[in-house]
């Protein structure tokens, strides 16, 4: 089994990531084009190429104030690190202070319509060189997850079926393992609820942890990157023209507050970026343009807002669910 990594392999991952960024931005711009009003100019991504003083850089693509998408950030970075920060080495104490490079694409999309979920995806590669001069250690990580405000059962099932299908070529245990990891990771402990309806999350993916060589790990990264688009675009198409009320918009902003809480308190990517002297604008681009908080808000039983926390924001086996939400249904136990 080939565990060696060289510059050619790193460059191949970099090329894929830049192409993935382009493809995702184009697909999201296509949503703006399809959702625009005749004669109106459609929002497009603005590309910001930057360099990092400590080494490396990136390309930050941001779309704002669209007809369909209120804000989207699709970020590529490839940075060099002189000493790994605590957020990266806590699971690898032997790498404390090691030199490293990290590259990835990370995105968050905040649609305008409350009936279109917020979505997030990330794929990344770390390569660290231990201080003792031993061979470099590499690992992949990433995944995608969905955060709806007014969920539709068929959309959630579709999202998880896409995740399941992309995992199948890599083993029957991959989806259930990485799905459960996603449920555990995107959990707000102080609120006692999941951030959304989950998807996939994985980290430390390499020969040691999964028994996969570099090529297989890279192939999985590519499948996850494409899987995000396969999952989210049909959901956009189904919901972006759904009428909504001022109250539904207010609830969307209230629930966005939970998203902010998670990203600032728990998200390892945010902590890693800040601790490694990363580019603050790129790190915090995941924040929604508008969010709100309310003191002791409690949705009324029987409302769609109650349904969100009562049923959807709990780990479930979504693959075979077909019925609409019913508080008396056995699946709501």
DSSP string, 167-215: HGGG-TTHHHHHHHHHHHHSEETTTTEESSSEEEEEEEESHHHH---HH
* Position 329 in a domain: no
Above 50 in pLDDT, residue 330? Answer: no
**Residue 82 known to bind ligand:** no
Report helix, strand or coil for 296.
coil
Q: Which residues pair with 47 in a beta bridge?
A: 61
- Cα–Cα dist 229/109, whole Å: 12
* Position 40 in a domain: yes
- 116 alpha-carbon distance from chain centroid: 15
Determine whether 158 is an active site residue.
no
Computed over its alpha carbons, how large is the radius of gyration of the chain? 20
Overall number of domains in the chain? 1
Above 80 in pLDDT, residue 280? Answer: yes
* Position 104 in a domain: yes
Is 315 in contact with 160 (CB distance < 8 Å)?
Answer: no
**Residue 123 known to bind ligand:** yes
Above 80 in pLDDT, residue 208? Answer: yes
Instruction: Quote the pTM value.
Output: 0.91
Above 60 in pLDDT, residue 40? Answer: no
CATH code of residue 80: 3.40.1500.10
pLDDT of residue 3: 52
* Position 138 in a domain: yes
pLDDT of residue 41: 66
Report helix, strand or coil for 48.
strand
Overall residue count recorded for the chain in this entry: 333
**Residue 190 known to bind ligand:** yes
CA nearest to 287, candidates 308, 301, 304, 273 = 273
52-85 pLDDT tens trace: 888 899 999 999 999 999 999 999 999 988 887 6
Is 76 in contact with 17 (CB distance < 8 Å)?
Answer: yes
When the pLDDT of each residue in the chain is averaged and rounded to a whole number, the result is 90
Q: Band of the pLDDT at 135, cuts 50, 70, 90?
A: confident
- Cα–Cα dist 127/125, whole Å: 7
Q: Which of 78, 82, 115, 120 is catalytic?
A: 120
* Position 39 in a domain: yes
Q: Band of the pLDDT at 121, cuts 50, 70, 90?
A: very high
237-276 pLDDT tens trace: 999 999 999 999 999 999 999 999 999 999 888 887 787 7
* Position 269 in a domain: yes
pLDDT of residue 327: 57
Q: 195 is in which domain, residue-wise?
A: 7-320
- 320 alpha-carbon distance from chain centroid: 23
* Position 331 in a domain: no
**Residue 285 known to bind ligand:** no
**Residue 80 known to bind ligand:** no
* Position 325 in a domain: no
**Residue 4 known to bind ligand:** no
């Amino acid at each position: 089994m080939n565990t060696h990594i060289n510059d050619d392999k790193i460059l191949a991952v970099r090329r894929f990531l830049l192409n993935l960024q382009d493809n995702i931005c184009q697909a999201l711009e296509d949503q703006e084009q399809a959702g625009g009003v005749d004669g109106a100019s459609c929002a497009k991504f603005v590309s910001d190429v930057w360099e990092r003083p400590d080494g490396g850089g990136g390309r930050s693509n941001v779309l704002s104030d669209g007809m369909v998408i209120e804000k989207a950030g699709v970020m590529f970075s490839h940075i060099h690190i002189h000493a790994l920060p605590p957020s990266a080495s806590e699971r690898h104490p032997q790498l404390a202070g090691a030199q490293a490079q990290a590259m990835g694409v990370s995105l968050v999309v905040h649609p305008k319509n409350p009936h279109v979920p917020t979505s997030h995806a990330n794929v990344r590669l770390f390569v660290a060189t231990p201080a003792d001069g031993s061979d470099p250690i590499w690992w992949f990580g990433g995944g995608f997850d969905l955060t709806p405000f007014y969920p539709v059962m068929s959309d959630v099932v579709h999202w998880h079926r896409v995740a399941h299908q992309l995992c199948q070529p890599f083993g029957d245990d991959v989806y259930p393992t990485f799905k459960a990891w996603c449920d555990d990771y995107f959990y707000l402990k102080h609120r006692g609820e999941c951030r959304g309806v989950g998807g996939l999350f994985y980290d430390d993916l390499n020969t040691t942890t999964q028994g996969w060589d570099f090529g297989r790990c890279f192939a999985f990264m590519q499948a996850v990157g494409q899987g995000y688009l396969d999952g989210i675009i049909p959901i956009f198409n189904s919901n972006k023209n759904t009428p909504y009320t001022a109250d539904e918009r207010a609830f969307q902003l209230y629930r966005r507050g939970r998203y902010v809480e998670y990203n600032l308190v728990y998200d390892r990517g945010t902590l890693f970026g800040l601790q490694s002297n990363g580019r603050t604008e790129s790190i915090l681009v995941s924040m929604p343009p508008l969010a709100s908080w309310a003191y002791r808000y409690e949705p009324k039983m029987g409302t769609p807002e109650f349904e969100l926390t009562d049923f959807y924001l709990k780990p479930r086996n979504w693959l075979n669910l077909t019925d609409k939400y019913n508080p008396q249904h056995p699946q709501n136990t």
